[in-house]
Amino acid sequence: MATPILKWAGGKRQLLDELYARFPVAYDPDTNAYHEPFLGSGALFFDHEPRRGTVNDRNVRLHNFYEQVRDRPEELIARCREFDDPDGDPNPDEAFAETDRKGRDIDAYYYQQRALFNRRPNGESFDPLDEAARLLYLNRTGFNGLYRENSDGSFNVPIGRYADPDWVRAEQVREASRVLGRLAENGLRQGSYEYVVDAAEAGDLVYVDPPYEPMSPTADFAEYSAGGFDREDQIALLEVVTDLAARDVHVVLSNSGVMYDVYDDAGLFVDRVGATRAINSDADARGEVNEVIATTVPPDERGEAGQQSLAEFE
């Protein structure tokens, strides 16, 4: 089984057994397709290694990252090995060696690479392989593994503090490339989750892991993408879930605990689960949080839990 390459808010490695326990016994990965319209770090997808189906994310730079992982893994690994210590001096041979776009001083290699990573949202030319490599580098060296964009789409996470960060992740890249390569060419998608309405067929399984509904007025799970994902989006997504269920498509979805009543009122089978979250911009909000897993699959129609054990966050 493959493991995620990236740290990502809401990653599901700790909940794999809980998710597998809600797979329908009627779902056969040899004949039915698997769809994941909010891929993120892809913990369930990479562990499950489906042979058919689709994965999608609206974040265009994340989509590019997975394209490079799938198509050019060895080039991506080689490019990542060229990066230097995030606390080191900027590279004088690259742009932004002294100041950023706003004329502010750049005093560390990390901030130079962050400025270079933001070429796309600033309308500048960029190399897709370089962008993918920088996403991985910044993900493994930025503060607390956050991925956060401002309203203009620019990545704005500050430098982190790690004793020996691994920003190459060679084996994880190779394994992820293998799993992504099993899908059809159009199996890796970028855009709205709504595509799954047309892509999924009766008997398929859809795992839905949207940006979480905030647990409090100060929490903001949607800040990881410039577009946001508010309560209206959550309700629209639920309508898609009920439409899929009406066509005998199996759905498993996860969200924050505040969605329990909304999912329960919609007729889904809902359970509360606890998961430890290491990624949050607010240190007080880290630790075990209240989450729910909901499904269209009745308890007596579920298969046995998978063989996966709860994994430590990497």
* Residue 300 phi, psi (nearest 5): -80, 0
Residue 309 banded pLDDT, cuts 50, 70, 90 = very low
Rounded distance between C-alpha atoms, residue 297 and residue 23, angstroms? 7
pLDDT at position 227: 55
Whether the predicted pLDDT of 148 surpasses 70: yes
Judge if 17 and 70 occupy the same domain. Answer: no
Give a yes or no: residue 1 inside a domain.
no
Q: Which of 16-30, 172-186, 224-238 has the lowest mean pLDDT?
A: 224-238
Structural domain tally of the chain?
A: 2
Q: What token pair was written down for 122?
A: 């600033």
β-sheet bridge partners, residue 59: none
Q: Is the pLDDT of residue 281 over 50?
A: no
Q: Give the pLDDT score at 216.
A: 53
Q: Residue 270: its pLDDT value, please? A: 97
The verdict on 79 and 131 lying in the same domain is yes
Q: 10 Å Cβ neighbour count for 178?
A: 15
Q: Report pLDDT digits (tens) over 121-133.
A: 999 999 999 999 9
Confidence check: pLDDT of 223 > 80: no
Token pair listed for 294? 């909901």
Q: How far is CA 196 from CA 190, 209, 217, 295, in A?
A: 12, 13, 31, 16
| Residue where a domain stops, chosen among 139, 160, 181 | 160
Question: Rg (Cα) of the chain, in Å, rounded?
Answer: 20
Count of other CB atoms within 10 angstroms of residue 240: 18
The mean-pLDDT minimum among 78-82, 217-221, 288-292 falls in: 217-221
Which of 160, 177, 206 terminates a domain? The answer is 160
In a shared domain, residues 37 and 121: no
Note the pTM of the prediction, 2 decimals: 0.89
- The SS3 assignment for 294 reads strand
Q: Which of 32, 34, 10, 60 is nearest to 209 (CA)?
A: 10
CATH number at residue 118: 1.10.1020.10
Read off the DSSP letter of residue 267. Answer: T
Mean pLDDT of 256-267: 96
The domain containing residue 76 runs over which residues?
Answer: 66-160
We report the CATH number of the domain holding residue 288 as: 3.40.50.150
The Cα-based distances of 217 to 214, 220, 275 in angstroms read: 7, 8, 21
Which of 106-110, 215-219, 295-299 is least confident? 215-219
51 within a domain of the structure (yes/no): yes
Residues 6+ apart with CB under 8 A from 283: none
Mean pLDDT of all residues in 19-40:
95
